[in-house]
Chains A and B, each alone.
Chain A
Amino acid sequence: MNPDRIKLIAVPVVLAALAAAPLALGTGYWLGLATTTLMFACLAQAWNLLGGYGGQFSYGHALFFGTGAYVTAVLQVRLGLDPWTGLIAGTIAGGAIGAFCGALSFRYGLKGSYFALVTLAFAEVFRILATSVPFTGGGAGILIPLKVSPANFQFADKAGFYYAMLILFAVSLIVTLAVERSRFGAYLVAVRENEAAAAALGIDIFRVKLGAITLSGALAALSGVFYAQFFLYLDPHIAYGSGVSVEALLAPIIGGIGTLFGPLIGAIVMRALGEVANVWTDGAPGLNLALFGLLLIIVLRFLPDGIVGLIGRLGRRHA
């Protein structure tokens, strides 16, 4: 069977396994952990679309995550709109911000380290703005009132949140699969591999990159919207802080950059490792993140294709 067919079968199988996971995890702490894992997997999937397939490494994906989160929170708290409208508005806003900073950065030919730095700076500008303007609640943050009802994107039990997040993650996975199989996806990979050659073949590099960052921004905003609904609280540091940007890029790189399942595998490995560290240290902060950093360096040193690449290599050896 060719790899494309395997992926077409693997996507529903993985989604079905994730849908069945609450049977094994129960309805308590572990299900909550699984929910946040999927949330970060969705954010990582968004990063992977631009960074993995397109080769444009963003160090500021908090920009899109935070925008999704703030748009839905502000619409609810200040304008009284419902969170489902917030979900749509937040996603559009994430895509729009993506298009805006993509248009600026790519128009002026920023790539590699310079693109990384400019995305970082955009996220910082938004963090400072969110701290300074009145309608976001400033540095004190914004609190979404508790009104439990599915119509209000607030669920009585953890399983409700889990399945809601699973649907959002499925969207990010299917979008990635669709991109992978499309002409646009082929252009994107061509741009990553060799920009000059891609341009010589008549690919409009600017439009391809712009499309990728817009889509990536919208998907990252999805996870931000979910964050706001799940925790019902936001502040500029949570939404636009460098922590989110780092999470977004660690999972795909550890899992396998530019692969369909890399972000999910990376997110699961990181959460599991973080959990082990938490038990070890009685929840003292720091060690879990330090382990993520160490894992990143080990992967870069020994596994250039991440965990997915390692699985592939082992599979070939035994085949």
Chain B
Amino acid sequence: MTASLLVPALVNGLTTGAIYALVALGLTLIYGVLHIINFAHGSLLMVALYGVYFLNTGLGIDPYLALPIAVPAFFILGYFLQRGVIEHTAHGRDQNILLVTLGLSIILDNLALYFWRSDTRTIDVPYGFDVIDIGVALIPVPRAVAFGAALGIAALLWFLIGRTDLGRAIRAVARERQGARLMGIDVEHIYGLCFGIGTATLAAAACLLLPSFYVTPQVGHAFVLVAFTTVVLGGMGSFTGALVGGLILGLVESAGGLILGESLGQIGIFIIFILVLLFRPTGLFGGKPA
């Protein structure tokens, strides 16, 4: 296999992986703190993509400039989903939480199908087909932006959780809920904030994704399983893990596509998923077993 084939596949894998990582960051935050496996994550990404799409086609707002609108809106949406729906339905049982988020995802996916049909929609942006020439490969500009932004958002989340008072409260709740409550932390509020932040990262992902991607009501499915794999591989609750896991999976998919062909390429991701679940459920960077 020659370098002319390998290097573009590598670059392609890394930029795809950055997007996987971006989607997985919110999922890993929600899991790390609330211990919720959020099945609605992919569907919320789909809703965010439609939001950015309609901001662009309806109001002519560039997807990158939509960030300051979409991110706060999704933060609020996430906060109220947790406080208004999930909190009241879970009755403290893990299985129920899983089912509630599954129910939310069924509702969102199918309402989208009902209102917007299954047409594949894309937007036109002036820089959509611009590329950066790095000598051995060409990188599309939107993908380079998404790659940089994924690293930036991971750093931002790491700073928020690791270096601020809010982060300290979140870590306290994640580690010892009752103790945190006794120290006067409003645990339910922190849960809402985390779900909100996790959902807000999806809005950011949508803004960064749409210039080089498409939206359909089913688009969430393409991401949600890969995001679960990323989170499990990296270690549930670990930002570094989500970032590294996403990049690894991007490379695996790209290599799988190169060796096995398009349709079988993705199988590598699921085999990694099963193997990690079976043999190392704490992942690469995870803490103690759940």
The residue that B225 contacts in the complex, of A121, A246, A253, A285, with Cβ under 8 A, is A121
Contact A108 B278, beta carbon cutoff 8 Å: yes
Contact A113 B37, beta carbon cutoff 8 Å: yes
Contact A281 B114, beta carbon cutoff 8 Å: yes
| Interface-lining segment among A181-189, A204-212, A214-222, A291-299 | A291-299
Contact A122 B274, beta carbon cutoff 8 Å: yes
A101, closest chain B residue (CB) = B274
Count residues of B near A (Cβ-Cβ below 8 Å).
45
Contact A112 B94, beta carbon cutoff 8 Å: yes
Rounded to whole Å, the gap between the CB of B125 and the closest CB of chain A is: 29
CA distance A256 to B271 in the complex (A): 34
B114, closest chain A residue (CB) = A286
* Known interface pairs A114-B281, A293-B106; A286-B270 also in contact (CB < 8 Å): no
Contact A294 B263, beta carbon cutoff 8 Å: no
CA distance A132 to B261 in the complex (A): 9
Rounded to whole Å, the gap between the CB of B101 and the closest CB of chain A is: 10
A292, closest chain B residue (CB) = B106
Asked if A300 CB lies within 8 Å of chain B CBs, one says: yes
Contact A121 B270, beta carbon cutoff 8 Å: yes
Asked if A120 CB lies within 8 Å of chain B CBs, one says: yes
Q: Which residues of B contact A289 (CB under 8 A)?
A: 106, 109-110, 113
Contact B110 A287, beta carbon cutoff 8 Å: yes
A290, closest chain B residue (CB) = B110
The residue that A297 contacts in the complex, of B85, B264, B267, B271, with Cβ under 8 A, is B85
Contact A118 B278, beta carbon cutoff 8 Å: yes
Asked if B138 CB lies within 8 Å of chain A CBs, one says: no
Chain B contact residues: helix, strand, loop or mixed: helix
* Known interface pairs A125-B267, A290-B110; A117-B232 also in contact (CB < 8 Å): yes
Q: Which residues of B contact A116 (CB under 8 A)?
A: 37, 98
Which A85-128 residues have a C-beta within 8 angstroms of B? 104-105, 108, 110, 112-114, 116-118, 120-122, 124-125, 128
* Known interface pairs A116-B37, A292-B106; A285-B114 also in contact (CB < 8 Å): yes
Asked if B145 CB lies within 8 Å of chain A CBs, one says: no
Q: Which residues of A contact B102 (CB under 8 A)?
A: 59, 246, 293, 296
CA distance A297 to B94 in the complex (A): 14
The residue that B99 contacts in the complex, of A104, A132, A253, A281, with Cβ under 8 A, is A253
Asked if A64 CB lies within 8 Å of chain B CBs, one says: no
Rounded to whole Å, the gap between the CB of B10 and the closest CB of chain A is: 23
Asked if B120 CB lies within 8 Å of chain A CBs, one says: no
Contact A286 B113, beta carbon cutoff 8 Å: yes
Contact B279 A297, beta carbon cutoff 8 Å: no
Asked if B95 CB lies within 8 Å of chain A CBs, one says: yes
Contact A128 B106, beta carbon cutoff 8 Å: no
CA distance A274 to B95 in the complex (A): 25
Q: Which residues of A contact B96 (CB under 8 A)?
A: 300
The residue that B110 contacts in the complex, of A105, A131, A242, A293, with Cβ under 8 A, is A293
* Known interface pairs A117-B277, A125-B270, A290-B106; A112-B114 also in contact (CB < 8 Å): no
CA distance A139 to B270 in the complex (A): 19
Asked if B107 CB lies within 8 Å of chain A CBs, one says: yes
Chain A contacts to B: CB under 8 angstroms: 57, 59, 104-105, 108, 110, 112-114, 116-118, 120-122, 124-125, 128-129, 131-132, 138-139, 242, 246, 249, 253, 281, 284-290, 292-294, 296-297, 300-301, 304
11 contacts between A and B (CB under 8 A): A57-B95, A114-B281, A116-B37, A117-B228, A120-B225, A125-B274, A128-B263, A132-B264, A294-B103, A297-B107, A300-B96
Other A-B pairs, 15, CB within 8 Å; known A110-B277, A246-B106, A290-B106: A57-B95, A104-B278, A108-B279, A114-B290, A117-B277, A285-B118, A286-B217, A287-B114, A292-B106, A293-B107, A296-B102, A296-B106, A297-B85, A297-B103, A300-B103
